[in-house]
Amino acid sequence: MSSTAPIGVFDSGLGGISVVRQIVRDMPRERVLYFGDSANAPYGTKTPEQVRRLSFAIVDRFVHEGVKAVVIACNTATSAAVNDLRETYDIPIIGMEPALKVACDRGGVQSDGSHVPQRVIVAATPLTLRERKFARLMDRFDSDNEIFKEPCPDLVEIVESGRLHDHDLVMDTLHRYFDKYDLHRIDSVVLGCTHFVFYRDYFRELLPDSAAIIDGNEGTVRHLDVVLESLGDLAPQDAQGSVELANSDPSERIAALSRELLDA
């Protein structure tokens, strides 16, 4: 595979554009092909079998376009399909999972060597939170920390419908999900869906200053960089990076919204 080949990035819709923005910042010489499956969004309320079928169709598309790696910029699709995709294709398949380890590690250790417990809310789609992959991740940390699972499907819909700038709608939705918690006792909120990264400023408004807001985008892109470097497939120093946006919804509304989110 040529080091000048593009990287394929896909999501159930527009959320994965937040990962593309991270790639542009951290790996600016890379060419990126983005595919959003907005015609079939949201994935988070579908069955694992449906998500696997959709994911395979997208990766087939990327393989025919000659990508050197695929980033599943979707926690839901990662949960449902990453293992099967890796068994099928001989290019790197980089998945995502909620950055729970990062949140729990923030506590550090006490003077006696014991872990400082963390109270963490994981905001994600319903499918991500009920899949075995997340259950295994949670099992690693819930004995030493207090972890709350909060499915937030309406946050996906708000992004997909282009209403991200409707402050009252967004804050009313966040309050509906999070007012049940004593947020002053929460150490961090993990944004376990790439759509939710676009809400970072809203979460900052909702949460006390003491609560951290954590997403997995930076760690995912760092892992992508390491994998490509190990294979000798990083773009050359003189390469000119680029982004091409495609979507299963061919409407101009989605195209314009995609460009707006990329440039935000």
**Is residue 104 among the annotated active site residues?**
no
**pLDDT for the residue numbered 33:** 98
Sites in the chain below the pLDDT cut of 50: none
Q: Where are the domains of the chain?
A: 7-96+216-263, 99-214
CA 58 vs. chain centroid, Å, equals 17
47 annotated as a binding-site residue: no
Contacts of 258 (CB under 8 A, 6+ apart): 14, 17, 34, 36, 245, 247
**Is residue 193 among the annotated active site residues?**
yes
Backbone phi, psi, residue 254, to 5° = -70, -40
Per CATH, the architecture of 99-214 is what? 3-Layer(aba) Sandwich (3.40)
CATH code that applies to domain 7-96+216-263: 3.40.50.1860
Tell me, yes or no, if the two domains 7-96+216-263 and 99-214 fold the same way: yes
220 annotated as a binding-site residue: no
pTM score, two decimals?
Answer: 0.93
**pLDDT for the residue numbered 110:** 72
187 annotated as a binding-site residue: no
From 81, 57, 41, 53, select the one nearest 162 (Cα to Cα). 41
Pairwise CA distance, residues 147 & 141, whole Å = 8
Q: Which of 137, 193, 254, 261 is catalytic?
A: 193
Read off the pLDDT of residues 105-124 as tens digits, 9 standing for 90 and up. 998 777 777 789 999 999 99
258 annotated as a binding-site residue: no
**pLDDT for the residue numbered 1:** 63
Q: Which of 74, 137, 147, 159 is catalytic?
A: 74
**pLDDT for the residue numbered 114:** 78
Cβ atoms of residues 228 and 68 within 8 Å: yes
Pairwise CA distance, residues 116 & 210, whole Å = 15
Read off the pLDDT of residues 89-110 as tens digits, 9 standing for 90 and up. 999 999 999 999 999 999 877 7
Contacts of 259 (CB under 8 A, 6+ apart): 245
The residue type found at 96 is M
